[in-house]
Amino acid sequence: MFNELYRILYDHYGDLKWWPSSSDDETVIGCILTQNTSWKNVEKSIINLKNNGLLNLNAIKNMDAEILKKYIMPSGFYNQKAVYLKNIADAVIDSYGTLDNMKNRDIKNISNFLKNIKGVGQETLDSIMLYALNYPVFVVDAYTKRFLKRYYNQNFTFDMIQNYALNDLKKDISMLKNLHAMIVELSKTYCKSTPQCSECFLRTGCKYHNSIKNSDR
Ligand code: SF4
């Protein structure tokens, strides 16, 4: 199911090379900052931290919370996000020292560890697991649910999407990373809240588009 979808999306998008970051620490910081805001706003905060040499978990752990709030202000909800960033920086450094030390371990243990950090919800957790720590999970966000419902004319649960993605892509980490990236890209350009079906390259195989087309006859 998803392997055929992957192929069609890949023919159009290729490798989008997600997550757009230069280190695992930056990925984790980005995963927290992107909650409830656009990536454009996150980028401004990332630049603020980078320009001051603070784009890593050690710096986040040790810096003054008020200064952190100032740097991440462009991402919105900065009081809350400063707490969340400090929570995850403290937890990772106190328990593992570095993100590298969290890789190649029992996936359930790492997932449970992250789940217990305040500020790490399901989507953030899966993004960190996949993009920063290279565990085979799939990120199921609102874009993914909306797109799959339209494309297959089927209501998928979170577990169904996870299972299809992991089985069909054979737990291939780079494919799991890229499938989510391609769905986000598609959802921002074509499969928006009002879908732009007439311009969409998926329209021939899309059940939603075909049902609209048939009802117009
Ligand atoms: S054809 Fe329309 S509904 Fe289907 S994926 Fe494209 S934009 Fe979404």
Q: What is the mean pLDDT of residues 122-140?
A: 98
CA quadruple 130, 135, 138, 139: dihedral sign? negative
Any atom of ligand 1 within 6 Å of the Cβ of 197: yes
| 36-84 pLDDT per residue, tens | 999 999 999 999 999 999 999 999 999 999 999 999 999 999 999 999 9
| 174-198 pLDDT per residue, tens | 999 999 999 999 999 999 999 999 9
Residue nearest to atom 1 of ligand 1 (CA): 203
Tokens of 16: 């989008």
| 87-119 pLDDT per residue, tens | 999 999 999 999 999 999 999 999 999 999 999
Residue 213 has pLDDT above 90, yes or no: no
Residue 217 has pLDDT above 90, yes or no: no
Give the span between the Cα atoms of 203 and 99, in whole angstroms.
Answer: 41
Mind listing the domains of the chain with CATH numbers? Answer: 2-16+139-215 (1.10.1670.10), 24-132 (1.10.340.30)
How large a percentage of the chain has pLDDT more than 90?
96
Tokens of 130: 């996949």
Mutation test residue for ligand 1: of 143, 188, 196, 203, the one with most atoms within 8 Å of CB: 203
List of residues 6+ apart from 2 with CB closer than 8 A: 164, 165, 168, 169, 179
The average confidence (pLDDT) of the chain is 96
